[in-house]
Amino acid sequence: MIHRFVFNPFLENTYVVDMGNKEAVVIDPGCQTRREKQELEAYIREKELVVRYTLNTHLHVDHIYGNEMLKELFASESIANISDQIPREITEKPIRRRYWPFADIEPQIDRYVKEGDKLVVGENEIHILETPGHSPGGLSYYIPKLKMVFVGDLLEKAKLGTLEYIYSDKEQMKQSVKKILELPQETLVYYGHGDFSSIKQEKCDLGTDLEH
Ligand SMILES: [Zn+2]
């Protein structure tokens, strides 16, 4: 079972996925204001879910506002890819302008994962796919039994994700998208922004975009 919130001025999708046995993951908690945080907390408490992991598809600020809150309230362990960590200068000050355009917070990451890693939550396995392009450490989370994949900003419905950052890479993005499109075609695809789709539908919609 899945619940979507749309949070913050970037209209970012935050997903709560019930993985069975009352265990859950939260994908990209974008809750920024006190009210948004309360809304997410209330939902989790009402459903009596144990949040095991906060899964960050990437570390853009609109996707990580709630990391700290989920750790504090629910002891949820936050997961990301190390290639998305903020490069630091020798002074240990993050290079915020270049890599972190809107930041007033730093991500709280407990564990870095890589391609092929698996997490077991409730009755489900989560497969980690490295899908760089929008950002160098972009991850997708594939849950085979639930037939769902969460791709962050790699894609939007029927189009490739944005390449607006200095480290965005179109070739990497195309390779990552091809990897996603190899998943079973009935798999539903959930994005960082906007409505969901399916692998089957994305294959139709994206076809020629991947060729040039
Ligand atoms: Zn992004």
What's the gap in Å between 62 CA and the centre of ligand 1? 7
Residue 191 has pLDDT above 80, yes or no: yes
CB under 8 Å to 178, separation ≥6 — which residues?
A: 210
What's the gap in Å between 60 CA and the centre of ligand 1? 5
Residue 136 has pLDDT above 80, yes or no: yes
pTM over 0.85? The answer is yes
pLDDT tens digits, one per residue of 141-153? 999 999 999 999 9
H helix and E strand count, the chain: 5, 14
pLDDT at position 210 is 77
Using 50, 70 and 90 to split pLDDT, how confident is the model at 103?
A: low
Q: Name the average pLDDT for the chain.
A: 91
What's the gap in Å between 48 CA and the centre of ligand 1? 30
Task: Say how many domains are in the chain.
Answer: 1
What's the gap in Å between 205 CA and the centre of ligand 1? 21
Residue 43 has pLDDT above 90, yes or no: yes
